[in-house]
Structure 1
Amino acid sequence: MAGAANTRGPVTAQAVAATTRVRVLLPLPLGAAYDYRVPSGMAVAPGCFVVVPLGGREVAGVVWDGAADPALQDARLRDIRGVLDAPPMTETLRRFVDWVAAYTLSPPGAVLRMAMSTPSALEARAPQAGWRSTAARPEGPRITPPRARVLALLADGAPRAGGEIAREAGVAPAVLRGMADAGLLEPALLPRPAHFTRPDAAHPGPVLGAEQDNAAAALRLAAGRRAFGVTLLTGVTGSGKTEVYFEAIAATLAQGRQALVLLPEIALSTQWLDRFAARFGAAPALWHSELTSRTRRETWRAVAEGEAPVLVGARSALFLPFPDLGLIVVDEEHETAFKQEEGVVYHARDMAVVRARLCSAACVLASATPSLESSVNAQTGRYAALHLPARHGGAALPSVSLVDMRATPPERGRFISPPLVQAVTDTLARGEQAMLFLNRRGYAPMTLCRSCGHRLRCPNCTAWLVEHRAARRLQCHHCGHVEGIPEACPECGTPHSTVPIGPGVERVLEEASAIWPDARRLVMASDTIPGPAAAAAAAKSIQDRAVDLVIGTQIVAKGWHFPHLTLVGVVDADLGLAGGDLRAAERTFQLLHQVAGRAGREERPGRVLLQSFAPEHPVMQALVADDLEAFMAAEADARRPGHWPPFGRLAALIVSAEEERAADRIARDLGLAAPGGDGVEVLGPAPAPLAILRGRHRRRLLLKTRRDIAVQPLLEAWLAKVSVPGNVRVQVDVDPVGFL
């Protein structure tokens, strides 16, 4: 930050020049703000980005709300070194940081770090210099044809960059220097270029159907109130939910406010971005992990200065410095990708509702298969509800049927059943596209020795190594450990004895290649679609009908529109039901419903085949009947008596340590100190399903309470009773969605 600070800082109407000491929150895992002295002549106010000394270094932080500690001796204070040339952090964002920290029991500085994720954006933008013609042309200099072309180009008086002038006037840079020496040109600062074209709210969009138009009108009204409110927008796949909430974005733009759209996989959302550009005549600003550091810097500044009216991003975009946020849309609100599991553990959907409330903004939660939490909030009136019951343009919903794998099993050594083989064959013969779905990467999820039964396991995690045959490696999908496929069993030494067990998408591809050798195949998985460019290329090849058979994992379920794809076959529909997870049935239904929605999205009817060894399972029956309401009602009935979410509260403590005994000791102490009382129950300690992760032994405890009991005070009092040594980590997860 050296050189970026103004040691005195501008005095503004909001500045508190008389203040001699202030609190400064630093983007470090610290529990509170530190007090600093304001030097004479410097003016700061809450929200100012400042540079302060910390130990032997300088750190950027934010002047925080609240009074400094008057009991702290002045001699112990250190001076603020300077004020950074960046728009101050708004009061609503500061309140949001404090709220998230209190709710998740995280250090406020750790939450602030997410709001200051691009430190270079706090530095002043270097002005760019160019040339313009002098106001009064001097007499004497000869006006050659090249000079005449330059003067004609600059006749409007606006400054231009030297390279642009030379290129458009067809002259050498030396001509410009000579004209400056002759007094014909003078240096001038260039206006800062706009990095984002403003989307046009009045740009003509697609014609909406009657049901879409009614829903759009309700969202326009909600966005126009300039008041907080949450709307759950549901509808079958292909019903036009995106076009409907675009109208809320248009209403927000018409008010001059900003809009934020959260997507679970922004790097894979090329079709969504195309639809946005078609509706508004310009692309939105983007925020995701694939951006370059320069783009992140420019985007952060544009958001802070109000130059990015619409931003589309992953969950971290929730902490960007919007000065006037009027709308937050959470698309596919049910997706677990919105839950951050590392560092500050939070759910972006829930925090989006909080930020909208603090900003007096409208919030729209959109999904074809909403979470039970959001559904219950809509049923109880906490959220408004809008539903689109039919596909746009008259397209019919696909028919869903089950393949009982007990009655019609695949051939020995294969995983695609005869009915699904026939359905794909018939689809390809009609010149239509088909999809095979399996939510498992790689070639096989497990490798064992057929001689001694040894299973190849990750050395750092309680997890089997997944074979990736194309890359000739075994990989752990939890910690990233990679090793080669052994020539002999590492346990018994028998050569060439390891065999793959179970299918991954690579194995399905191998089987499909043998059954349909002439079909043009494409695998869509995170291994083969690593980012936006690959996703765009894959989508284009499918839309252009350069692909006959798509084989994919869960990334194919997220909002793709492939007009000629009429068959979806799910290779293992039972996969997500194992493990005893609280939300296993709900997640499986959501994922398979979304995958099924890829079929028959235009005039040709779609068909979905689910291969299952448990066709009588309620999830399978609900999918066949296309009865989301009945399924969700049954889920609610199952959870309500035990006060499971959303009818109760959960919070998890995950104890981890490199030494197993240390993890066991702290987990035992936490178990002995566990809170109790009416409506409060603690489960555990117990080894986590992933008992070892990245070399650390893990134990879990689960606090369960009635809905009317706040878990944060219980957790704080509980943790205060146990002294945790430095070699042990205790992570708090309020409202967990996963239990690994």
Structure 2
Amino acid sequence: MIVKVIVDIPTQQVDRPFDYLVPSELEAMIEIGIRVQVPFGVRQVMAIVVEIVEESDYEGKLKPISKVLDYMSFLNEELVALSATIASEIFTFRINILQAMLPSMLRVKYENYFHIEKPTAFLDLTADYLDADGTEVYASESLVEVLPAKLLKKLLNDDIIKVEYRVKDQVTTKTITYIDVNQTADDYMNELERLNKNSKKQALLLQDLIENRDQYIMMKQNDFLNHPDYNRRLLNIAIENQWLKKVVKEVYRDPLANQHFEPSYEQTLTNDQMQAFTTIEAARQAKKATTFLLEGVTGSGKTEVYLQLMQRARQDGQSAIFLVPEIALTPQMVERVKSRFQTGIAVLHSALSVSERYDEWRRIIKGEATIVVGARSSIFAPLKNIGLIVIDEEHESTYKQADNPRYHARDVAIWRSEYHHCPVILGSATPSLETRSRAEVGRYQLLRLPKRINERALPQVDLVDMSKIVGRFNNDIFSPSLIDKIQHRLDAKEQIILLLNKRGYASYMLCRDCGHVLQCPRCDISLTYHKSQEQMKCHYCDYHSPVPHHCPNCHSHNIRTYGIGTQKVAETIEELFPQAKTIRMDIDTTRGKGQHEKLLTAFSHGQADILLGTQMIAKGLDFEKVTLVGVINADTALHLPDFRASERTFQLMTQVAGRAGRGRYQGEVIVQTYNPDHYVMQLVKQQDYERYFYTEMQRRHMANYPPYFYITSLTVSSKFQNQAHKKIYELKSQIFEAVNTQQVIILGPSNGPAIKKNNYYYYQIILKYKNKDFIQQELKTILSQTQADIRQGIFVSIDHEPQFFI
């Protein structure tokens, strides 16, 4: 047997399959996607099997693989094939994609152990190779060295043994320790007769084993130790005398274990919902890989359409993937899916521990979970027979991986849908211009839900011109109009959501005498004041410093904070509405495990009147008693140097407005802005996505931006500014000479607002073009040259369709 592997060396020179011989004793363990150790040059490296063949084109002598690292494959043939496609399209190395597909736990160093699950069967099958010593856990080497590969494979396939991966300094499998009877009742009688008369507790235990032996069969060790007459010393004596034995059972960590979900049932669909459902279901039944854009206003019932389609797929023995863009949305969406289906749900997102994600991955591989709910990386879930893929809030930039490998979950979903011949649903109230334009030209099929459930009205949106208010009242955060509306809702025992797209207490600290702004020493941006920790923090590199009492430049004590953050707003709310209970949601308050869910659950149960947060609270959330949404400053991102700035502002404002009036109460939205006449603000007020789409498309067309042009950014970074500066100009010259500049527009070199981040200097050029193939080869050439640059401390990254430019 010969295997083709991708080695764990991310360089262009070795970014291809290499052939290795499989020793006969290891053949039974080999599968596509499994990790192996191979000799490569003078070292041993990890590699992933991507193909199994009988013959090799290599003319020299093949080296044998050294060992098999896994005992089950975490990458199926589909994902291995997908890795090759993605790598070629996003200009990265295939090993980077394969590593991104693996559970996090398999990307770190670990040791393997075998747990004996069925001792009798294990001893029967291994009697010729092992001495029966009652061992419950074996180091992997101790079995691999003495058992034939075929026997080892049989033990694993029959669940006689299970593999435990132990990460250094981290427990990776959860176990429960039981005690079990080890003798018959007659044996216990004999033991009692031989027992010393002074051993009263031992006698008590033996007497109970004689009379109530069945109660001790697989009793939890903790239950034994909680017995008023027993203790750990007695347990150790019982085990030493072989009256009892310990049994350690591995159990899955269930991130939903402590939650109860009331069952929910299918809702009667509206005519618009039924039309969308019927169209998508017909495509699933016909096994058509159609991509649908489900454009529905906020509160129009898109989720119910998703759930009923997943139900049909599950009834037909198929699986489904349901992606959400934010961790904050996951608890509510998991609750909806879990309450509908109860079992067979796997949850995958970054708030889970490494071990929890690993356990969820194993449940998926074994077919114990057929519906996966999670964030971006869940698109790689190794499900079989996929019948439906849903990407909710498809316009969100979080579906694009920001660092290497820079894949977009939407593109992966479409590839997998073609592999499985199943539909993809892209759902949003405010689709991205790229997605909507593809629907306009027929690449995607457009389905609309233009009305809210039960004909509920969209909330009324009012704009407040803050330029006419600042300086006239006691605070510059809340307009009188918003204060009155909040008080009215508090009096009515209704709830309020307030959006401020910043965290921290104030934006920056400024010296009023010399004008000095406190800067991050590692980045080219100002530090943000966090009052609760009394620290200045950098939101790029997480640099911390104490709050200064005088200006570091002129030593004046006249240094003050400027701007506002969520902490400052929360403090102001407490001053204005002392009777109100407020929950603040931002990165600082949701760092802890389960904090998103804890805070949202508290708000949904009425334990707070006001939910204040950053954009994580703006979409997907559904609270019946929320009747007022206030946007503190709608201009935060409107004038950023990014061609998507107006699109993101419109989407964010429309999405957060949709949180109001979703129940039986009418909703209202107050948007505070310094630019009330801006076309985006006027269209937000009208909640007119159609008009916004065509207005923005005209602007994109005039400026040669997506969706009319493709965009790729090339970024150079180095700790030495002159190196980065020189390299970016070299790249521009190289591209200029290689391509026709009438077909490729080159913008830059330039640097964003923060030229320096975490002690690295950044420069970039932007390429705009209509023909992908025209620039593809030159970008691959640049990628192949990056290894020499890395040795000099210069890093070049290529990002196709970047989501951010600052």
Shared fold by TM > 0.5? yes
Matched, 1:724 2:789: yes
Question: What letter corresponds to residue 76 of structure 2 in structure 1?
Answer: T
Distance 1:602 1:188, change over 3 A: closer
Matched, 1:466 2:528: yes
Which among 342, 353, 370 is matched to residue 309 of structure 1?
370
Specify the alignment match of 2:501 in structure 1: 439
Partners of 1:188 and 1:478 in 2: CA distance = 49
Specify the alignment match of 2:115 in structure 1: 126
Partners of 1:699 and 1:127 in 2: CA distance = 56
Distance 1:685 1:181, change over 3 A: same
Contact map agreement 2:629 2:656 (CA 8 A) in 1: yes
Give runs of aligned pairs for residues 32-43 of structure 1, distance below 5 A.
32-43=16-27
Write the deviation string for residues 348-382 of structure 1: whole angstroms up to 9, x where unpaired: 22222223223333221111111111111222221
Question: What letter corresponds to residue 729 of structure 2 in structure 1?
Answer: R
Specify the alignment match of 2:310 in structure 1: 249
Which among 444, 448, 454 is matched to residue 383 of structure 1?
444
Matched, 1:264 2:325: yes
Q: What secondary structure is seen at the aligned counterpart in 2 of 1:673? A: helix
Write the deviation string for residues 296-353 of structure 1: whole angstroms up to 9, x where unpaired: 2222221222222112122122233323333221111111112211221222222222
Question: What letter corresponds to residue 368 of structure 2 in structure 1?
Answer: E
Partners of 2:682 and 2:458 in 1: CA distance = 16
Question: What letter corresponds to residue 34 of structure 1 in structure 2?
Answer: F
Q: What secondary structure is seen at the aligned counterpart in 1 of 2:36? A: strand
Contact map agreement 2:91 2:783 (CA 8 A) in 1: no
Matched, 1:74 2:26: no
| Structure with more of its chain in helix, by fraction | 2
Question: What letter corresponds to residue 36 of structure 2 in structure 1?
Answer: V
Distance 1:266 1:597, change over 3 A: same
Distance 1:72 1:387, change over 3 A: same
Specify the alignment match of 2:600 in structure 1: 539
Q: What secondary structure is seen at the aligned counterpart in 2 of 1:425? A: helix
Q: What secondary structure is seen at the aligned counterpart in 2 of 1:654? A: strand
Give runs of aligned pairs for residues 46-61 of structure 1, distance below 5 A.
46-54=32-40, 59-61=45-47
Matched, 1:23 2:4: yes
Q: What secondary structure is seen at the aligned counterpart in 1 of 2:745? A: strand
Q: What secondary structure is seen at the aligned counterpart in 2 of 1:294? A: helix
Distance 1:437 1:88, change over 3 A: closer
Partners of 1:196 and 1:540 in 2: CA distance = 16
Partners of 1:695 and 1:612 in 2: CA distance = 35
Q: Which runs of 5+ in 2 are unaligned?
A: 119-177, 191-205
Distance 1:623 1:74, change over 3 A: same
Give runs of aligned pairs for residues 193-208 of structure 1, distance below 5 A.
204-208=265-269
Contact map agreement 1:261 1:330 (CA 8 A) in 2: yes
Matched, 1:232 2:216: no
Distance 1:357 1:124, change over 3 A: farther
Which among 742, 761, 779 is matched to residue 715 of structure 1?
779
Distance 1:135 1:485, change over 3 A: closer
Shift in Å, 1:227: 3.8
Specify the alignment match of 1:96 in structure 2: 82
Deviates more, 1:342-351 or 1:125-134: 125-134
Question: What letter corresponds to residue 625 of structure 2 in structure 1?
Answer: H
Matched, 1:687 2:751: yes
CA RMSD of aligned residues (A): 3.6
Question: What letter corresponds to residue 483 of structure 1 in structure 2?
Answer: S
Shift in Å, 1:624: 1.0
Partners of 1:429 and 1:654 in 2: CA distance = 53
Which among 792, 795, 799 is matched to residue 733 of structure 1?
799
Deviates more, 1:111-120 or 1:168-177: 168-177
Contact map agreement 2:322 2:374 (CA 8 A) in 1: yes
Write the deviation string for residues 624-676 of structure 1: whole angstroms up to 9, x where unpaired: 11110110111112213444211211111000000011001111111111143
Shift in Å, 1:211: 2.7
Shift in Å, 1:465: 0.8
Identity %: 31
Partners of 2:363 and 2:459 in 1: CA distance = 43
Specify the alignment match of 1:110 in structure 2: 96
Contact map agreement 2:185 2:210 (CA 8 A) in 1: no
Specify the alignment match of 1:572 in structure 2: 633
Q: Which runs of 5+ in 1 are unaligned?
A: 1-16, 155-159
Partners of 2:59 and 2:702 in 1: CA distance = 52
Write the deviation string for residues 201-257 of structure 1: whole angstroms up to 9, x where unpaired: x97333433332332333333333444221112211112211110112112212222
Partners of 1:669 and 1:565 in 2: CA distance = 55
Deviates more, 1:262-271 or 1:626-635: 262-271
Contact map agreement 1:203 1:281 (CA 8 A) in 2: no
Deviates more, 1:353-362 or 1:91-100: 353-362
Question: What letter corresponds to residue 298 of structure 2 in structure 1?
Answer: T
Question: What letter corresponds to residue 47 of structure 1 in structure 2?
Answer: G
Which among 567, 576, 601 is matched to residue 515 of structure 1?
576
Shift in Å, 1:708: 5.9
Write the deviation string for residues 418-456 of structure 1: whole angstroms up to 9, x where unpaired: 222222222223332223211011111122110100111
Partners of 1:195 and 1:539 in 2: CA distance = 20
Specify the alignment match of 2:663 in structure 1: 602
Q: What secondary structure is seen at the aligned counterpart in 2 of 1:101? A: helix
Matched, 1:454 2:520: no
Which among 234, 257, 273 is matched to residue 334 of structure 2?
273
Distance 1:57 1:546, change over 3 A: same
Partners of 1:485 and 1:715 in 2: CA distance = 46
Question: Please, what TM-score do these two structures have when normalized by structure 2?
Answer: 0.80
Specify the alignment match of 1:647 in structure 2: 708
Aligned length: 712
Distance 1:573 1:196, change over 3 A: closer
Specify the alignment match of 2:764 in structure 1: 700
Distance 1:469 1:164, change over 3 A: closer
Write the deviation string for residues 112-150 of structure 1: whole angstroms up to 9, x where unpaired: 111223328995762335899999999997897744644
Specify the alignment match of 1:666 in structure 2: 727
Partners of 1:166 and 1:243 in 2: CA distance = 47
Partners of 2:68 and 2:388 in 1: CA distance = 34
Distance 1:182 1:619, change over 3 A: closer
Contact map agreement 1:268 1:531 (CA 8 A) in 2: no
Give runs of aligned pairs for residues 612-623 of structure 1, distance below 5 A.
612-623=673-684
Question: What letter corresponds to residue 73 of structure 2 in structure 1?
Answer: P
Partners of 1:343 and 1:55 in 2: CA distance = 26
Contact map agreement 2:717 2:763 (CA 8 A) in 1: yes
Distance 1:165 1:456, change over 3 A: closer
Partners of 1:513 and 1:79 in 2: CA distance = 66
Partners of 1:530 and 1:582 in 2: CA distance = 31
Partners of 2:420 and 2:777 in 1: CA distance = 26
Contact map agreement 1:258 1:325 (CA 8 A) in 2: yes
Contact map agreement 1:653 1:731 (CA 8 A) in 2: yes
Deviates more, 1:530-539 or 1:689-698: 530-539
Contact map agreement 2:185 2:213 (CA 8 A) in 1: no
Deviates more, 1:264-273 or 1:618-627: 264-273
Q: What secondary structure is seen at the aligned counterpart in 2 of 1:369? A: coil
Contact map agreement 2:36 2:65 (CA 8 A) in 1: no
